[in-house]
């Protein structure tokens, strides 16, 4: 049973602190990698409360179920590449899936990607047409209780 009040509180607090309320989510569906632009309104429908690592309490994570992926497909999801191409790119890279996805999305929009560690409170991962987006791939953690409490 999910702690609904904690889940809602964490999403609300995250949104209070977040620089942007626009997201590009990536996920696998039928051997394809999709990307979809959304806003914060759908966070309660696609995120989950999970146990954070290293004693940081609970975390907000993007671990979409098949039903949630089907929902995201209805929100204008676009094909980015095949799952095989994506996984080969990850294997051949020093970066993780989230970083490789961020790089591919950035390049999809004709921009050059560089790895950075800009906090979610200061900027998005990518700006397209003056709109800042945070980019998240499957299994990504948004934040945890410890981080939110510290802010």
Residues of the domain holding 46: 4-150
Regions of the chain with pLDDT less than 70: 1-2
State the pairing for strand pair 22-29/131-137.
parallel
Can you tell me whether residue 135 is helix, strand or coil? strand
Q: Angle between the 83-91 and 97-108 helix axes, to the nearest 10 degrees?
A: 120
Per the structure, the count of domains in the chain is 1
* pTM of the complete model: 0.94
Helices (H) and strands (E) in the chain, counts: 6, 8
In 3D space, the residue among 139, 148, 118, 142 whose CA is nearest the CA of residue 28 turns out to be: 139
* 28-72: pLDDT as tens digits: 999 999 999 999 999 999 999 999 988 899 999 999 999 999 999
Coil, strand or helix: which one is 137? strand
């Amino acid at each position: 049973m999910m702690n609904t009040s904690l889940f809602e509180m964490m999403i609300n607090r995250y949104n209070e602190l977040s620089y942007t309320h626009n997201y590009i989510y990536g996920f696998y569906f039928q051997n394809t990698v999709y990307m979809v632009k959304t806003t914060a309104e759908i966070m309660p429908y696609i995120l989950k409360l999970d146990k954070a690592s290293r004693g940081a309490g609970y975390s907000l994570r993007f671990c979409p179920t098949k039903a949630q992926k089907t929902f995201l497909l209805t929100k204008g999801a676009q094909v980015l590449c095949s799952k095989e191409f994506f996984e080969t790119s990850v294997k051949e890279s020093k970066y993780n899936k989230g970083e490789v996805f961020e790089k591919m999305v950035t390049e999809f929009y004709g921009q050059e990607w560089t790895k950075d560690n800009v906090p979610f409170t200061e900027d998005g991962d990518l700006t397209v047409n003056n709109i800042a987006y945070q980019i998240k791939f499957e299994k990504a953690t948004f934040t945890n209780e410890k981080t939110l409490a510290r802010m």
